[in-house]
A = this chain, B = another copy of it.
Amino acid sequence: MSEVRTTSGTRRPTISMVAKAAGVSTATVSRVMSGNPAVSPELAARVHAAAEEMAYRPSGAARGLALGSLRNVGVILPDLVNAYFFDVVKQMHHAARADGYRMLVADYSGAADDEYATAVDLLGQVDGLILLSSRIPVSGLKDLAMQSTPVVLVNRVELGVDLPMVAVDNFTAMMELCGHLAQLGHRRVVYVAGSDLSWQNRERWRAVEMSKVLGIEAFKVDSDGTIDGGFNVTESALVHEPTALICFNDLTAVGVISKLRDLGVQVPADVSVAGFDDVEIARHIAPRLTTVQSPKAQLGDQAWRLLQETLRNEPGTSLPALNAKVVIRDSTGTISTGMARD
């Protein structure tokens, strides 16, 4: 009954079909679609009507070809289930959008081998690429560095690689966290590690290990930075008889605490637990988690700024490391007394 038909079967309309329907040239349609003011109102209206009628959408591919860019940038990250990553991506996304860029995010959940492939694949589609907490081997990074598409490295610093980078100072923050623990009287801690492909993990462990200067003896058990990962290695962490467990990140800590509860071990009365990142959940679980607050929003902004500068071929000033700060909550306490001072 209505004029418009569900044209699901038909081919997608092109600019020239619209042009024909409106009785104008493709140039005019193009101008109308992109809001070029140099078109008489009545023509514009005709074109709009025709376009509307056929449900015309300009082809992104064609547009990208002609314009030389689709204004997309890509970001690749390890795992979106970790809210930490999501928070920084969200910030980048806002920043990018404000500058008229679309953002394609790709997560390679677990399959670290895919990361490089994903990066290369994306390279053909985007104007620039952000690698967040990348696990790509240095050689791969070097390859990426000599592409003509700008790439920036976030939360990883690799001296031999010629890429703009920005990162938060994991080492110092972790040192502070260890200081907090030492002050509470802890002398035996185990670090529940994340992937050793992760620069952040290496930095964090480096700090924990170094905390022997604070009188802390540190052990390490391997995990993978997930809730289940933490849950599963908790028992093997306990064989070291630590008074505190420092987890690679908050997710791991959640898993650890969950397991501890199953085991009847009280936190922090029997053992203290700390996380890293300060994701939202950290302040809502019981007990509220002592952790390190990363400047996620700032990091996202800086990353975008860096990419943006590189895109415009500007200097691309590499930033100093961003600072994180420890936030003390209820999951860490003095040894054997049970309750944390605040």
| Copies of this polypeptide in the complex | 2
Q: Is the CB of B285 within 8 A of A286?
A: yes
Closest to A284 in B: B258
A80, A149, A258 interface centre (most CB from chain B within 10 Å):
A80
CB–CB B280/A148 < 8 A = no
Cβ-defined contact, A70 with B81, below 8 A? no
Contact status B227-A284, CB under 8 Å: yes
Instruction: Give the total of A residues in contact with B, Cβ under 8 Å.
Output: 61
Interface string of A51-88 (1 = CB under 8 A from B): 00001011111111100001000000000110100110
Say whether A7 faces chain B, with CB atoms less than 8 Å apart.
yes
* Least CB separation from A145: chain B residue: B6
Cα–Cα distance between A210 and B59 once the two chains are bound (Å): 48
In the bound complex, CA of A231 to CA of B103 (Å): 31
A11, B83: Cβ atoms under 8 Å? no
For A64, A105, A143, A149, the residue with the greatest tally of chain B CB atoms inside 10 Å of its CB is A64
Interface string of A154-173 (1 = CB under 8 A from B): 00000000100000000000
Expressed in whole angstroms, the Cα–Cα distance for A4 and B10 within the complex equals: 48
Contact residues in B for A285 (Cβ distance below 8 Å):
254, 258, 285-286
Distance to closest chain B CB from A160 (angstroms): 13
Q: Is A212 an interface residue (CB 8 A)?
A: no
Q: Tell me, in angstroms, the Cα distance from A8 to B146 when the chains sit together.
A: 7
Distance of A109 Cα from B86 Cα, bound (Å): 11
1/0 contact string of A1-20 vs chain B (CB within 8 Å): 00011111111110000000
What separation, in Å, do the CA atoms of A64 and B313 have in the docked complex?
A: 27
Interface residues of A in 123-144 (CB under 8 A from B): 123-126, 143
Chain A residues engaging chain B, CB cutoff 8 angstroms = 4-13, 55, 57-65, 70, 80-81, 83, 86-87, 90, 102, 104-105, 109, 120-121, 123-126, 143, 145-150, 162, 227-228, 231, 254-255, 257-258, 261, 280-281, 283-286, 310, 313
Beyond A7-B148, A58-B124, A227-B281, 11 additional contacts (C-beta under 8 Å) are A7-B146, A8-B313, A9-B313, A10-B148, A60-B70, A61-B61, A104-B104, A254-B285, A258-B283, A281-B281, A286-B286
